[in-house]
């Protein structure tokens, strides 16, 4: 089922050059879509349009058939689409983790008793159930970001949008957040739209959308996208190191077996030689 439909999306800040120039895409329910593109290509603008923080200048986005970016539907959209941004510190409002997670549902008018259940559900989903009474400011970057995700999950969204949500984290924090998101997608069927510049994260996606100067230039599976090494390079994007090494080896006549997307694929392929 098509859950998100973006049609001919334009967005212009302050009447300057458009940040998005006629973007069209759909996202299926339960799909994991990665969005990549150089700085200023329009990724964050798209994230803000997806939950109605911004309204399209032209074109439409619908989520489950509901038009996004209209004041009348804002509440319904916020219930369905949760966005996690780059810096967890800017997203924290409370001094205790459980209050932080409760903040969103309270604003949506969820009854007190249900909020309690949602806090437990959301904190266990991100593996932070033991931190209910903790002070957010004392947590590590990865833990804070997992709390930010829990805050969004407490809204029980059908769609989770991550705008470079792992960019400020160390490799451990990035791993924690990434595996949390993958679990939510696989086990709870949450649709994921993950904006990232870490190519390793892209390998986990069902599909990739490549933006450049406000336009969608490619879309395909990670494998299809990584075959476009030259084109990506021209856009200032790199393929994952494992993919690069595998392609180089193939060019040299080394018989690499199967598709190599990740380091472990590469290790496996090399062991078979
Ligand atoms: N608040 C803003 N006001 C004016 N221009 C902006 C604003 N935010 C982004 N832009 C411009 O819109 C374009 C797309 O930016 P953005 O969506 O943030 O790209 P990305 O997230 O891919 O780096 C850029 O040219 C950027 O300078
Ligand atoms: Mg951005």
Substitution site in 20, 34, 44 for ligand 1 pocket (most atoms within 8 Å of beta carbon): 44
Confidence (pLDDT) at 125:
85
Q: How far is the CA of 138 from the centre of ligand 2 (A)?
A: 26
Substitution site in 11, 13, 85, 167 for ligand 1 pocket (most atoms within 8 Å of beta carbon): 13
Could you tell me if residue 198 is inside a domain? yes
Ligand positioned closest to the Cα atom of 86: 2
Ligand positioned closest to the Cα atom of 41: 1
pTM, whole model, 2 decimals? 0.91
Confidence (pLDDT) at 177:
85
Could you tell me if residue 231 is inside a domain? yes
- Report in angstroms the alpha-carbon separations of 256 from 221, 248, 252, 260: 20, 10, 10, 8
* Number of domains within the chain: 1
Could you tell me if residue 253 is inside a domain? no
Substitution site in 42, 57, 87, 195 for ligand 1 pocket (most atoms within 8 Å of beta carbon): 42
Q: Are 125 and 156 in contact (CB under 8 A)?
A: no
Could you tell me if residue 74 is inside a domain? yes
pLDDT per residue as tens digits for the range 144-183? 989 998 999 899 899 999 999 888 888 888 888 888 899 9
Could you tell me if residue 260 is inside a domain? no
Look up tokens 């997203």; give the residue. 91
**CA-based angle 82:144:146, to the nearest 5?**
50
Say which residues have a Cβ less than 8 Å from residue 32's Cβ, sequence separation at least 6: 182, 185, 191, 192, 194, 204, 205, 206, 207
Q: Nearest 5°: phi and psi at 67?
A: -75, 125
Distance CA 14, CA 186 (A): 40
- Report in angstroms the alpha-carbon separations of 39 from 36, 166, 183, 190, 195: 9, 16, 28, 27, 12
The residues lining ligand 1, judged by C-beta closer than 6 Å to any ligand atom, are 13-14, 19, 37, 39-45
- Report the nearest atom of ligand 1 relative to the CA of 41: 22
Element (H, E) at 17: none
Collapsing DSSP to helix, strand or coil, 73 comes out as: helix
Could you tell me if residue 204 is inside a domain? yes
Q: Which residue has the higher pLDDT, 124 or 207?
A: 207
pLDDT per residue as tens digits for the range 13-46? 987 889 999 999 999 999 999 999 999 999 999 9
Q: Are 216 and 24 in contact (CB under 8 A)?
A: yes
Provide the β-strand partners of residue 216: 211
Could you tell me if residue 244 is inside a domain? no
Q: What is the mean pLDDT of the chain?
A: 92
Distance CA 126, CA 88 (A): 15
Instruction: Write the CATH number for 57.
Output: 3.40.50.300
Q: Are 188 and 154 in contact (CB under 8 A)?
A: no
pLDDT of residue 91 exceeding 80, the answer is: no
Q: Which domain holds residue 211?
A: 2-239
Look up tokens 């994230």; give the residue. 47
Confidence (pLDDT) at 207:
97
Could you tell me if residue 45 is inside a domain? yes
């Amino acid at each position: 089922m098509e859950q998100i439909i973006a049609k001919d999306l334009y967005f212009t800040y302050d009447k300057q050059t458009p940040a998005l120039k006629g973007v069209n895409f759909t996202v299926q329910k339960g799909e994991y879509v990665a969005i990549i593109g150089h700085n200023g290509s329009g990724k964050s603008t798209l994230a803000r349009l997806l939950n109605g923080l911004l309204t399209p200048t032209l074109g439409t986005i619908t989520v489950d058939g509901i038009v996004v970016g209209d004041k009348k539907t804002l509440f319904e959209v916020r219930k369905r689409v949760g966005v996690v941004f780059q810096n967890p510190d800017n997203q924290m409002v409370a001094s205790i983790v459980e209050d932080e997670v409760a903040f969103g549902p309270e604003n949506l008018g969820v009854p007190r008793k249900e909020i309690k259940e949602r806090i437990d559900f959301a904190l266990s989903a991100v593996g932070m159930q033991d931190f209910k009474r903790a002070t957010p400011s004392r947590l590590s970057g990865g833990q804070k970001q997992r709390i930010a995700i829990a805050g969004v999950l407490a809204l029980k969204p059908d769609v989770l949008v991550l705008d470079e949500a792992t960019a400020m984290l160390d490799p451990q924090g990035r791993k924690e957040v990434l595996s949390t998101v993958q679990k939510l997608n696989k086990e709870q069927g949450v649709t994921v739209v993950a904006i990232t510049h870490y190519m390793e994260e892209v390998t986990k996606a069902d599909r990739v959308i490549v933006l450049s100067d406000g336009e969608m230039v490619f879309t395909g599976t990670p494998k299809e996208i990584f075959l476009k090494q030259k084109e990506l390079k021209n856009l200032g994007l790199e393929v994952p190191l494992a993919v690069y090494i595998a392609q180089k080896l193939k060019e040299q006549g080394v018989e690499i077996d199967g598709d190599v997307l990740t380091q472990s694929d590469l290790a496996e392929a090399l062991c078979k030689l």
